[in-house]
Every structure is written in C-alpha cells, then in structure tokens.
Amino acid sequence: MKSNFRANLYAINDLRYENAPIPECMEDEVLVEVKCCGVCGSDLPRVYTKGTYHFPTVIGHEFAGKVAHDPKGELDGKKVAIFPLLPCFECESCKQGSYATCENYDYYGSRRDGGMSEYIAVKRWNILAMPDSLSYGEGAMCEPVSVGRHAVLKLDIKKGDKLLISGAGPIGIIAGQWAKSLGADKVYYFDIDQRKIDFAKSIGFEEYTEGDEISCVVEGTGHSEAIRRCLKAVKPAGRVVLMGNPAGEVNMAQDTYWYILRKELKLFGTWNSAYNDVQNDWKDSLTAMAEGKINVKPLITHRYDLSDCNAAFEMMKNRAEFYNKVMLVMNGGDENE
C-alpha cells in the first residue's frame, strides 16, 4: 500500500507526522497527490494557541498537486490548485455566489482535514486546473495571491495612486504586486520586523516614512496601532481596505475615529476571495502568475520536507530566521522549481 504521511494536529502543541490510509474518493471528489502546501500565518495559532475546530485535524489550506484518481476519468494526471472553502450552497450569500460570506461553510485545513498530507480527497467543485508552466509551489501560492487580489480590487486602483500597506508578509507583498499591475505609482510598507521591510525593498517596493503622500491603504495586520497609523497616513477622501485578521481585541481611540470622519474616508472590509462565475480571483490569479504579472517565486524563502513539519513550525514560531513563505513539499517535491 502507498504511504499517506501527513501533519495531524491532535491537540494544541501536538502536531504529529504520521502515516494513515489513503482516503476514499467519492463520486463528487478527486484524489489529489499533494506536492506543495504553504504554511499560512494563521496555521501558527492553530498549532500553538487556539487549535482547530476539532481534534485531530490535518492542517493546511494552501496546497496544490496532481490528480491521482478521478472517478470520472476527466482530470487524471492534471496539475491542480485547490480552493479550500466548501460552501453550504443554501444560505443567502451562497445563492448570490458570495461563498466567502457563507453562513455554514466548511474549510480544508481547519474544519476538516487539509493539505499537509500526501493524499487528500477534494471536492471536484474546488479543483482548478493549473497552467502547465506553473510549478506546484506557485500553485500552492494561489490562495494568498487570490486573497491579495480580492483586497486590492476593492480600492479601485487608478494610475498614479500611492498605496500604503501595513504588514510585509506574503499577502502584503502580493497585494503590492497587484497594485503595481493595476497602475499604482508607488507602494509603501511599514512592519514591526525591519527584515520584512528590507525584503520588500529588495524586490522593488518602498519603506513608508511619515509624510509620504498616500491615496489608498491596505491594512494587513489587524493591530490597533497599525490601523491608527494607516488612517492617519491616508489623504482626505482616500480608500482603505481592512484585511488583517486580528489576534486579539482591536481598540480605536477618539482621534483615530476622527480620521475616518474628518477625512471622509471610504472603508472596505475583505474576507478571503471570490470564486464564482462573475469574479473568480483564483482563475485570474493562476493566469496572472502564468503570464508573469505576479511573481511569487522570490516569496518562497523556505522549503521543508513534510517530515520536518515540526521543525518548520518551530522556526516560524521562534522567528529563528527571516522567512516570507514557508512551503512544505512531499511526493517528490516541486520538480518544476
């Protein structure tokens, strides 16, 4: 029998590399041989502080691979990326195609077993065929690329705009690439980790200094002080997207709230990405990567074999090294790199 090694979270701070049977594949699913799975910043609290929705859970929602078996025989051998959200298809949001705001959604890697596994059965609806020119690592990056795109599109970027992004992690850097591709003149960053700022500068972006003219903002941290700084920086009638997922309470002082009022700012929230027939951030992201408009290769700073999953998480938790995107590889890794 083939192996099916996986990273299975049994409890907080109890991530086990273990072997398990290859999952059964239902008629509405395909069996995917996973090649790459990114470690999202949200995976760290899942492992070390808050856990998943039940235990055990195979974590990982940023993954790509090759179809090992399709009961219908249509996708066998295809390179695929996977949209990790499973909508209920019954609530009002789903009826409108707004699956990210589904009231009763499921999710690979947090609510059900995810992509840090050599094999996973995935709903056919969630499968996207990848352009052959893309590597599996790039395919696994389709999730953050889509999230970044979804946020930036809300800003209605115009030629000459100057964008400020708080947080120079993978999604923040990708959001900057999207903004540039849409006509932004300059993209500035601030971050509490100077190494991230230096990385952003090394690939063509700029460090924010108070007083720089800012026409629009993506707030990517969910921290109160970062929100205050963003609202202070943007010019009157500017546009602000709140993207950061807060780890704790978010508080707003009176003068911070006044920035919104007195500047007559336009504020938008963003959650996940669009995946429907009208707007499909995932298909557009795969196309943009294949055409070279979005380049995620420099962002993949670390690759670990799946068997070293605990070492990867420990490195990230302790910030032992600078990293941007950490990728777990399996089943021969990413042969296209």
Contacts made by residues 220-224, CB under 8 angstroms, sequence distance 24+: 220/165, 220/166, 220/167, 220/169, 220/171, 220/172, 220/175, 220/244, 221/166, 221/167, 222/246, 222/247, 222/250, 223/250, 224/249, 224/250, 224/251, 224/252
Q: Which amino acid is at 316?
A: M
Characterise 111 by phi-psi region: left (phi > 0), alpha (psi -120 to 50), beta (else).
alpha
The C-alpha atoms of residue 189 and residue 168 are separated, in whole angstroms, by 6
- 261 phi and psi, to 5 degrees? -70, -55
Contact 256, 226 (CB under 8 A): no
The rounded radius of gyration (Å) of the Cα atoms in the chain is 20
Pure H helices in 65-135: 92-95
Give the three-class secondary structure for 105: coil
Question: What is residue 333's predicted lDDT score, i.e. its pLDDT?
Answer: 75
Query: Which tokens go with 180?
Result: 């540039």
Question: According to the model, what pLDDT value does residue 334 have?
Answer: 67
Res 139: pLDDT: 97
**DSSP H helices in 234-308:** 254-262, 281-290
The whole-number pLDDT of residue 115 equals 98
- Once rounded to an integer, what is the mean pLDDT over residues 224-241? 98
Kindly list the domain boundaries of the chain, sorted by start residue.
5-141+296-329, 147-269
pLDDT digits (tens, 9 = 90+) for 316-326: 999 999 999 99
The pLDDT of residue 337: 47
| Per-residue model confidence as pLDDT tens digits over 187-204 | 999 999 999 999 999 999
- Average confidence (pLDDT) over 201-221: 97
Match 């943007």 to its residue by tokens: 234
Q: Are 36 and 325 in contact (CB under 8 A)?
A: no
Class of domain 147-269: alpha beta
**pLDDT in the model for residue 332:** 85
Alpha-carbon distance 205 to 186, whole Å? 7
pLDDT for res 2: 80
* 5-141+296-329 and 147-269: identical CATH topology: no
Q: What is the DSSP letter of 169?
A: S
Report the C-alpha gap between 108 and 82 in whole angstroms. Answer: 9
The CATH class, in words, for 5-141+296-329 is alpha beta
* Span 65-72, average pLDDT: 96
Contact 120, 32 (CB under 8 A): yes
Share of the chain above pLDDT 90, in %: 97
Residue-wise pLDDT for 251-302, tens only, equals 999 999 999 999 999 999 999 999 999 999 999 999 999 999 999 999 999 9
Please report the pLDDT score of residue 140 as a whole number.
98
Report the pLDDT averaged over residues 10-34. 97
